[in-house]
Amino acid sequence: MLTAPKTMSTSIPLISSPVSEPWTAWVLLLLLVLAALANVMQPGVVLNSFTTIVAKPERQYTESQRTVLGQICLHLFQLGTLAMACYLLCFHDGAFSIARYGVILVLIALLYGIKVLMMLLVNYTFQIRKRCASIGEHYEHLICVFCCALYPLMLGMFYYGNTRVLQTLVTLVTAAFLALIVFKYCRAFLQRPSSLLYILLSVMTMDVLPLLGAYYGTNYILSQSFVQL
């Protein structure tokens, strides 16, 4: 009895990339939904963030514009966007896994928590509660603008990879974000020329170092083999 010859089937491993992983598109969609929900629950929160980029730090906003659920959605959008941007920016090869994204998200949340604690410590030490409350509100608006600017660049890295052009654009957006923070701090705290040194040190400690920690921390996480699906 004749039988068909057996053929050896070989499976070709697929290269893991942001585009090939279905969870990445769902996360990007979820982040967009969170931003939309935050804007619906807090009407005008995103528009106010853009219109107050160069506004005076003394400008206040009514608390009726804020809701607990809206703030939760907004912070989740910001943390998730920063984590995904770091992942896409630092990713070169290997497995693009949701587990690593989760670890990076935890890292970003920890750095943000440390920053908030440092701001509270400065507030307690120098008794500048009123100014800190004012600048803190404008800082949240800048974070929102920064994440909104990162989102389309993140989509570019998702579809076209971590190209030199996109890396340059991310660097320029980050530099503009830090420059705006210095500008806000100067308008709130600059009283004499020597104050500029303290402002720059504050920005270096509470803004530049967390961003560097996020970047190098993400590179370290991606270099480790213990974070796998």
3-state percent breakdown (helix, strand, coil) of the chain, nearest 5: 75, 0, 25
Do 88 and 19 contact (CB within 8 A), yes or no? no
Kindly state the average pLDDT of the residues 99-115.
92
Mean pLDDT check: name the lowest of 1-15, 56-70, 71-85, 171-185: 1-15
* Residues sharing a CB contact under 8 Å with residue 202, sequence separation 6 or more, in sequence order: 122, 185
Kindly state the average pLDDT of the residues 6-30.
69
pLDDT of residue 63: 47
Place of tokens 């920064």: 146
Length of the chain, please?
A: 229
pLDDT of residue 57: 55
pLDDT of residue 127: 56
pLDDT of residue 26: 92
pLDDT of residue 168: 92
Strands of 86-146 (E only): list them: none
Report the amino acid identity of residue 124. Answer: Y
pLDDT at 179 over 70: yes
Instruction: Dig out the tokens for 228 from the structure.
Output: 């796998």
pLDDT of residue 4: 47
pLDDT at 8 over 50: no
Q: What percent of the chain is predicted at pLDDT more than 70?
A: 79
Nearest in space to 16 (alpha carbons), one of 85, 101, 77: 101
Question: What is the Cα–Cα distance from 33 to 220, expressed in whole angstroms?
Answer: 30
Kindly state the average pLDDT of the residues 2-27.
63
pLDDT of residue 212: 92
